[in-house]
Amino acid sequence: MKSPLPLPELFDEDEFSFTFKKPRRLNDAFHRRRPPKLMHPLNRSINASMANAISFTEDNRAELSAIYNRHKPETYYEQCFEQLTKVGEGSFGEVFKVRSRTDGRLYAVKKSKTYFRSTQCRELCLEEVRRYEQFSDHENCVKLYQAWEQDDRLYMQMELCRENLEVYAREQQKLPDERIWSIMLDLLLALKSLHDRNLIHLDIKLDNILVTDDGTCKLADFGIVFDLSNSNHRYATEGDSRYMAPELMEGTYTKAADIFSLGIATLELASNLELPANGRLWQRLRSGQPLPENLACNISQPLKDIIHRMINPAPGERPTVDMLLKHPIVQKLYEERRRRRVFERSKSYLYRKLSSLGGFFLLAVMWLVACFRLQHRKESSPRR
């Protein structure tokens, strides 16, 4: 379902009204957009009640848990997971924090709300699984462990993250520059993995960025990823209008649309702005004019400069992912991160080596002590 497109609006340049983010009350996220009512399928498949693993990998070795019993009335989800709490909800799915009965670990399971209404609807839903599998090994994309279908609905078992960036930003209120640049680096690395494959995400927003326990940001929700190699733009879908690039309203789809959305998300983080879905400020942010001074006064100049470049109304004038990764601040941060990881790996390797050597020396000492005691026992034993 496409977001409603904002309407153009005439305005005076100096007249803007906007609000800043406030800490969200518990469960506000679930009521932000009401989901559609659950619709039953027109034609149920005979085998729909049995769980079937879904995978598009080359080896296609997706298997269901061994504890699943097809003959029991409970679903695979009910048999294999203990549902703990709901952690997210959108128009098409719900996300639950669960504990696996197979390995005892915590995961997130995304469950589609609607049944497959047709073969084409099913294929579109399963396409998200294909995309997740493509990026599942990237450190800045959410990892998919397993997907299955049952009762004409799709389930995806994914890594559990602490919260999404929208909740994180509301809790923090004001993020330091270094943190914002670090978040941008995480997302640029994730976007590069898509853009290098000629894919565009089309739904970059704080709700679709998850934060792990160690603070790493990971891109999620690949439901409307579009393949630019497919020239038929009729199947492309716009994401949230608050983050939408202006050219998408004219049906122009390029990688630059993701850069624009990331620029708006960066502005949101840097200013603590409650993004407009339409109206005067929405138009101003897509006009190419400088940011309103009362909005930009608390943003550092380097951030203002890069945000302004990323939200340029002309797609061809926006920097690419590779160009942004070469920005001096981003590049410096990336090099520091690489050196830190090399150091951590070296420290871990040295620790393992010392541990193994320590174990060897301990065995050698124990062997020498045993030999000494045996020799002492022989010498001290009375001779007949």
Q: What is the CATH number of the domain that holds 79?
A: 3.30.200.20
In a domain, 257, yes or no: yes
| pLDDT greater than 50 at residue 356 | yes
For residue 243, what is the DSSP state? T
**Based on the domain organization, do 170 and 309 belong to the same domain?**
yes
Same structural domain, 143 and 175: no
Question: Greater confidence, 110 or 23?
Answer: 110
pTM of the model: 0.78
Using CB atoms within 10 Å of the CB of residue 125, give its burial: 0 to 12 exposed, 13 to 18 middle, 19+ buried: buried
Which letter does DSSP use for residue 141 in this model? Answer: B
Does a structural domain hold residue 183?
yes
Closest CA to 274 of 32, 2, 30, 90: 32
Please determine, for residue 77, whether its predicted confidence score (pLDDT) is greater than 70.
yes
Residues 118 and 193 in one domain: no
Structural domain includes residue 279: yes
Residue 46 identity: I
**Residue that terminates a domain, selected from 326, 347, 371:** 326
- Residues 6 or more apart whose Cβ sits within 8 Å of residue 340: none
Q: What is the pLDDT of residues 3-56, one digit of tens each?
A: 555 555 444 444 556 677 777 654 454 444 433 343 444 444 445 689 999 999
Shared domain for 168 and 292, answered yes or no, is yes
Tokens, residue 247: 């050219």
In a domain? residue 31: no
Residues 97 and 106 sit within 8 Å (Cβ to Cβ): yes
Of 359, 292, 238, the closest CA to residue 18 belongs to 292
Range of the domain at 249: 163-326
Do 268 and 208 share a structural domain? yes
282 shares its domain with 179:
yes
Q: pLDDT at position 307, please?
A: 97
* Per-residue pLDDT tens over the stretch 277-286: 999 999 999 9
**Residue 253 sits in a domain of what CATH number?**
1.10.510.10
Claim to verify: residue 246 and residue 127 sit in the same structural domain: no
Q: What is the pLDDT of residue 38?
A: 38
Of 152, 186, 203, 240, the active-site residue reads 203
289 is a domain residue: yes
User: Of 140, 159, 178, which marks where a domain is finished?
Assistant: 159
Whether 97 is in a domain gets the answer yes
Same-domain check for residues 147 and 279: no
Separation of alpha carbons 272 and 265, rounded Å: 10
Q: State the average pLDDT over residues 349-373.
A: 66
Residue 132 near residue 142 (C-beta atoms within 8 A): yes
111 is in an annotated binding site: yes
Here the tokens at position 31 are: 């009521």
In angstroms, the CA 265 to CA 183 distance is: 10
Please identify, among 112, 144, 159, the residue that sits at the C-terminal boundary of a domain: 159
Q: φ and ψ at 58, to 5 degrees?
A: -65, -40
- Annotated active-site residue 103? The verdict is no
User: Do 59 and 147 sit in the same domain of this protein?
Assistant: yes
DSSP 384: -
Average pLDDT over residues 226-245: 82
Shared domain for 142 and 212, answered yes or no, is no
Q: Say if residues 83 and 157 touch (Cβ distance below 8 Å).
A: no
CA 172 to chain centre: 19
* Higher-pLDDT residue of 35, 176: 176
Q: How many distinct structural domains can be found in the chain?
A: 2
In a shared domain, residues 294 and 189: yes
Question: In which band, very low, low, confident or very high, does the pLDDT at 296 lie, cut at 50, 70 and 90?
Answer: confident
Q: Are residues 153 and 168 in the same domain?
A: no
In a domain, residue 349? The reply is no
137 within domain boundaries = yes
Contacts 24+ apart (CB under 8 A), 327-334: 329/181, 329/302, 330/181, 330/184, 330/185, 330/188, 333/178, 333/181, 333/182, 333/185, 334/185
> What amino acid occupies position 296?
A
